Amino acid sequence: MDPSSARANSGGLFSGKTELQPLKEKRICLVDKKHKKKLKRTAKKKKEKAASQEATAKLKKQMNMFDRLPNNCSSCGKNFPKTQEAHMTWQVVVREQKQQVRLFCPECQKQAKEIVENQNEV
Ligand SMILES: [Zn+2]
């Protein structure tokens, strides 16, 4: 047990840290940080803009493809009902290289899936 040395240790640490921080240096540091943040924000904005432009271009391309959307199932010829439910259940297959859009009704999707599953089994 040596209470005097313990007190000297903590006391030394305290006074040393608080007094050795000049205000000037602290301010420079803050400005630098702010500047960095600003730079980062600008970079992010640039990136976001590029991303959104890319998304728009992609969407435009896809819209063009959707103009080619068939009115019926590419497999069985069933008429494609333009309802939200149909949009959710029918499958659109886009072949960009061939500029081809194919549409598959839920039944044909099921059949195709079964064929693939059967092929996998063999
Ligand atoms: Zn079909």
Is the pLDDT reported for residue 110 higher than 90?
Answer: yes
Q: Provide the pLDDT for residue 77.
A: 96
28-77 residue pLDDT tens: 656 677 777 778 888 888 889 899 999 888 877 766 666 778 899 999 99
Residue 104, beta-bridge partner list:
91
Distance CA 88, CA 105 (A): 10
Q: Where are the alpha helices (DSSP H) in 1-122?
A: 3-19, 23-67, 84-89, 106-121
Structural domain of 41: 23-67
Contact 80, 105 (CB under 8 A): yes
Checking if the pLDDT of 95 tops 80, the result is yes
Note whether 101 and 65 are within 8 A (CB). yes
Q: How far is the CA of 121 from the centre of ligand 1 (A)?
A: 24
The reported pLDDT for the residue numbered 111 is 92
Who wins on pLDDT, 90 or 27? 90
Is 113 part of a structural domain of the chain? Answer: yes
Judge whether 6 lies within some domain.
no
- How many angstroms separate the alpha carbon of residue 95 from the centre of ligand 1? 18
pTM summary value: 0.45
Centroid of ligand 1 to alpha carbon of 3 (angstroms) = 88
Total domain count for the chain? Answer: 2
Within a domain: 91: yes
CA of 97 to the centre of ligand 1 (A): 23
80 — pLDDT class (breaks 50, 70, 90): very high
Residues 44 and 77 occupy one common structural domain: no
